[in-house]
Amino acid sequence: MSNYISEEKIKELEIKANEARQFLISMLVEAGSGHTAGPLGMADIFTAMYFHVLNHDPQNPEWEERDRLILSNGHITPIRYVLMAMAGYFPIEELKTLRKFGTRLQGHPERERLPGVETTSGPLGSGLGQAAGVALAARMPARGGSASGGDKFRVYCFMSDGEQEAGATWESAMFAGKNKLSSLTAVIDRNNIQIDGFTENIMPLEPLKAKYEAFNWHVLEVDGHNIEQFVDAVEEAKAIYEKPTMIIAHTIPGKGVDFMEFDYLWHGNPPGKVKDDPDAPPPEKQAEEALRQLRTLGGKIKSEHE
């Protein structure tokens, strides 16, 4: 049993994560575009972040001592928007504006549009360098930090596994390791897919853990759908003072919807847009079936709509 999170809290977060997945499906259908697989797969982790891990204040998003969450793989931002809304950064109803003209909820997050978003993300491979820069700057005396690692806030960087193919990622990894940025914790969504197929077919990444260890990182591997494991890994990272920490979170793309799970066709498509998947319902039924499965936990509980 975890020393950092209670069984009651875990159950509460699991319920919130399932609720977040339902909001996600609805907002993607309303938008008519956007990414489905990655956001569904990261719902548990983002729920843990916004409702347990992060030191933040939704009513004061510019609070100086807040933890910084840098989203490098900006295409999964819909699930971040959902959790931000659930946490109180903006009204839930605003989720319906995703990707619409003039919205604050762009398809990739924009820092100057939405309070609580630390960086604008888009080109994959950029986030780790941004996060390392923030972590290094936090050590400067003017920011209240110290060269020995006495930083006033922690920096979290979320990345996809596909963007490990970008060379800039490894320059940033080398920089963070060299500077012993112990306030930096990065998380790789290891779901094994990217827009064109499976990562190990397109550009094999393994041995991923050994690569980051060679760059002087402390590396942990967790089940990305096990909130207790993830929270324990985050807490372990706080105890590491001589190097940054990488958490490789193994996730199921499309988690919670059986015809989306493990299928790269859902990487960049919302319900209703995939027409050539023999395992999926007809496009006009995809959203309805996805929501039914999420409401009933795959048929394990009876839906109020049945």
Per-residue pLDDT tens over the stretch 102-152: 999 999 999 999 999 999 987 899 999 999 999 999 988 765 555 544 578
- Architecture label for domain 7-295: 3-Layer(aba) Sandwich (3.40)
pTM of the model: 0.94
Residue 277 pLDDT grade (very low, low, confident, very high; cuts 50, 70, 90): confident
| Alpha helices per DSSP H over 97-207 | 127-137, 167-178, 199-202
Q: How many CB atoms lie within 10 A of CB 14?
A: 18
Where are the chain's structural domains? Answer: 7-295
Looking at residues 151-156, what average pLDDT do you find? Answer: 91
Query: What does the pLDDT read at residue 146?
Result: 53
Site of tokens 């990261």? 42
3-state helix, strand, coil in the chain (%, to 5): 40, 10, 45
pLDDT digits (tens, 9 = 90+) for 38-96: 999 999 999 999 999 999 999 999 999 999 999 999 999 999 999 999 999 999 999 99
65: alpha, beta or left, given left = phi > 0 and alpha = psi -120 to 50?
Answer: alpha
> Quick one: how far is CA 113 from the chain centroid?
20
